[in-house]
């Protein structure tokens, strides 16, 4: 039995334009559905990123963000320059003097361009999808069970769920004393294999995800972060 796939869903005012920004950042091909005004790109074997029309306006910080990996200090600089050329801005989230660069994409979604790190050598261009959590261990365990991939780092300040041997981003949970509330502009969608999702994490009464709609069903993780699940869909059917 393999693990479940994950989609990072980004709500956007202009999904095709925002998708283009990200596709250029990570040098992936965008699959565009112009009728629905949405687009997507594959990242690694088990992950894709989807840009969908926003169903409500959001202000403030997101609870989740993307970390980009770099291979060398020169590569990190090149990624930062590329981001600035494509319309990103530097962002101040109170990070202080850190070796990674905190930026915001053209719609204000925070992301980081990381300095080279050993633990992301096996990652592709996306090092991690990071969720701020009050209790990284509890939330990390929840996601590990949901995805069907091991919790490989268990530190009180951060935990990490990682697919084995693939160039997928890690799912990381980093302690934050007051994570931003609400859905934010990013959420994770679990693309569950048929029969996988345990009843303990999916209540009987599911409502459609307000962003993804059918056939996705909305629920929350133990800290009330929105996520959605689509059950029994192959990746191709789920597009
Ligand atoms: Zn959804």
Ligand 1 centre from 219 Cα, in Å? 9
Ligand 1 centre from 9 Cα, in Å? 7
Ligand 1 centre from 189 Cα, in Å? 5
Ligand 1 centre from 77 Cα, in Å? 33
Ligand 1 centre from 88 Cα, in Å? 25
Evaluate whether 37 touches 15 at the Cβ level (below 8 Å): yes
* Residues 173-223 pLDDT 10s: 999 988 877 778 999 999 887 666 555 555 555 678 889 876 777 888 888
Residue 238 has pLDDT above 80, yes or no: no
* Residues 6-50 pLDDT 10s: 999 999 999 999 999 999 999 999 999 999 999 999 998 899 999
- How far is residue 77 from each of residues 4, 71, 99, 114, 157, measured CA to CA in Å? 34, 11, 11, 10, 28
Confidence label for 237 from pLDDT (cuts 50, 70 and 90): very low
Pick 5-231's CATH classification: 3.10.180.10, 3.40.50.410, 3.40.50.2000, 3.40.50.2300: 3.10.180.10
Quote the tokens at residue 82: 């590329």
């Amino acid at each position: 039995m393999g693990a479940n796939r994950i989609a990072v869903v980004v709500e956007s005012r202009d999904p095709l334009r925002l998708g283009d920004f990200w596709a250029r950042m990570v040098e992936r091909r965008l699959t565009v559905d112009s009728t629905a005004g949405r687009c997507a790109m594959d990242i690694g074997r088990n992950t894709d990123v989807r840009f969908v029309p926003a169903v409500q306006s959001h202000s403030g910080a997101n609870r989740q963000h993307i970390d980009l990996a770099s291979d060398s200090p020169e590569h990190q600089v090149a990624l930062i320059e590329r981001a600035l050329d494509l319309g990103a801005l530097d962002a101040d989230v109170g990070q202080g003097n850190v070796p990674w660069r905190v930026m915001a994409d053209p719609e204000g979604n925070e992301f980081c361009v990381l300095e080279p790190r050993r633990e992301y050598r096996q990652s592709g261009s996306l090092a991690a999808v990071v969720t701020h959590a009050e209790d990284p261990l509890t939330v990390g365990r929840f996601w590990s069970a949901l995805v069907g991939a091991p919790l490989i780092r268990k530190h009180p300040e951060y935990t990490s769920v990682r697919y084995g041997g693939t160039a997928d981003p890690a799912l990381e949970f980093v302690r934050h004393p007051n994570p931003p509330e609400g859905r934010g502009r990013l959420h994770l969608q679990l693309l569950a294999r048929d029969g996988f999702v345990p009843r303990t994490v999916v209540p009987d009464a599911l409502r459609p995800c307000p962003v993804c709609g059918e056939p996705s069903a909305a629920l929350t993780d133990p800290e009330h972060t929105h996520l959605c699940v689509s059950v029994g869909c192959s990746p191709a059917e789920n597009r």
